[in-house]
Each structure stands twice: as C-alpha cells, then as structure tokens.
Amino acid sequence: MPEILRLDAVCRRFSGLQALSEVTLGISSGEVLGLIGPNGAGKTTLVNTVCGVTPASSGRVIFMGQDITGIKTYQAARRGLSRTFQIVQPFAELTVLDNVAAAALFSQAGESLKSAREEARAHLAFVGLEAQAGQSAATLTLAMRKRLELAKALAMKPKLLFLDEVNAGLNSAEVEKATALIHQLAADGITIVMIEHLMKVVLNVCSRIAVLHNGRLIADGPPREVIRNPAVVEAYLGQQYAQRSAGHG
C-alpha cells in the first residue's frame, strides 16, 4: 500500500526540552499502527506535530505526498487528519448531537448545519450513542464521552485517524466495545494510529508497533517482534511482561 504519512527526521523542542528527536517513520494507507512508550516519551507531541498544534522545530511532515510541516489545525482537519484527545472535553453546554455536528462544520468548508446534523446522527449510531443525541454532553459517563470523542473525530471525515488513549479509564466490557469499533473503522479502510497503554488491545488491533522513548523512535515493526526487542522491554514493558508474552506467543 502507498504511504499516507511520512515523518522525516522530525524534531520538536520546547525551550530546553527535546520532546521529539529525529523521528523518521512511514505509515501505509489502511494500516493500524500502535504508538507505544512510557509516559513523557513524546507520543502525544508527535500527534500534535502532525496535526498542527505544535509544529515541528525541524524535519518534514509529508501527508498524501504533500509537505504539511507547519500546517494550521483547521487546514490539517480539512485535509483528512483527525484525532481524539486523551483528556476528553466535549462542549458540555451543547447536546451530544451538536458536539458532533460542530466537528463536521469545523472540518468541512461550506457544510450546512442541517447536513452536519444528519451526518452527526449517522456517526452517533455507529458509536452507539443514538439514544443520547438530545442530551447535554455533560450528562454522559466517561465511556460515553470517549465514544462521543470518536464520533466527533469521524465527523471530520478522516483519511488518517489518531486515537489517543481511547481506552483509558474504561472497564473490560467498555474496552471490548471500543476495540470492536476500531476493528470496524480499520475494515472500512481508515488508516489508524493508536496511542495505547493496554498491550492486549495493541496486539489485538495493530498490524505494526512503533515505540518512542525520550522522544526517539527505538523500535518499529511487527507486534510480536517489537515486544521481544530488548530495548523495548527495558524502556517500557519490563521483563515480566516479555516473558509472559513469549509464553503465549
């Protein structure tokens, strides 16, 4: 499959802190990539750099053959780059439906409110929130807010979707539901990059894993290979996990 995204020696500095250091990574169209690593490794910074929140200090970001280094967030959204946020903050005063419609209006020039709401209903049905469409977003449980966040991201018609800790704080039944939705999105051909701490989910969903540590890419490859990589075991997984996984592999 052709590459949809390429990071070419991307660096991001915040005054004295080197948050990303020479990250070079290609992502193929239709792929589901797991992006893992310890807290503070630079995972969310990488997503922010691609999506225009905090542009790269140096290096290049290429999306669908176009150099988008330094792009604005609304321009990124209109090109088909969409993401969920680790800290879910819906527009609490709006209804669930209008939260999703607002995302459609933001990302698509010339969209009418009527058509945005129609689209929003379809996305809410997909994530299982149709019955909550008229409720205030403030009334939703954490699991429902996570699904609302996904519906908002889908309303932006993504070609590439970043999922930032979509399972954090969910119980095992809720994680299973979220994982089923991700499988469905992948089957529909959306390219997905997942930041995820639950290795069971990563191994279930991802065709490839990239590992960040201290802002550097330390491993990239098939899941079973990466979780046996000594550098990954030392930096992130720990010996116990690696031995347990080797026993199941």
All structural domains of the chain with their residue ranges: 1-80+158-222, 91-157
* Sheet strands (E) in the chain: 3-14, 17-28, 32-36, 58-63, 66-67, 81-83, 160-164, 191-195, 208-213, 216-221
| Average pLDDT rounded to a whole number, residues 12-31 | 95
Q: Is the dihedral of CA 224, 226, 229, 235 positive or negative?
A: negative
Q: pLDDT value at position 113?
A: 87
Residue 222, pLDDT > 70, answer: yes
| Predicted structure pTM score | 0.91
DSSP three-state, residue 202 = helix
Q: pLDDT value at position 86?
A: 82
Residue 240, pLDDT > 80, answer: no
Question: What top-level class would CATH report for the domain 1-80+158-222?
Answer: alpha beta
**Confidence band (pLDDT; 50, 70, 90) for 1?**
confident
Residue showing tokens 């992948």:
186
Residue showing tokens 């709006």:
94
pLDDT in tens, 153-172: 999 999 999 999 999 889 99
**Confidence band (pLDDT; 50, 70, 90) for 25?**
very high
**8 A C-beta contact, residue 151 and residue 120:** yes
Question: Which residue type is seen at 77?
Answer: A
Q: pLDDT value at position 246?
A: 56
Q: pLDDT value at position 220?
A: 97
| Average pLDDT rounded to a whole number, residues 52-67 | 95
Residue 88, pLDDT > 90, answer: no
| Average pLDDT rounded to a whole number, residues 36-44 | 93
pLDDT in tens, 117-158: 999 999 999 999 999 999 999 999 999 999 999 999 999 999
| Average pLDDT rounded to a whole number, residues 192-211 | 94
| Average pLDDT rounded to a whole number, residues 77-89 | 89
Residue 214, pLDDT > 90, answer: yes
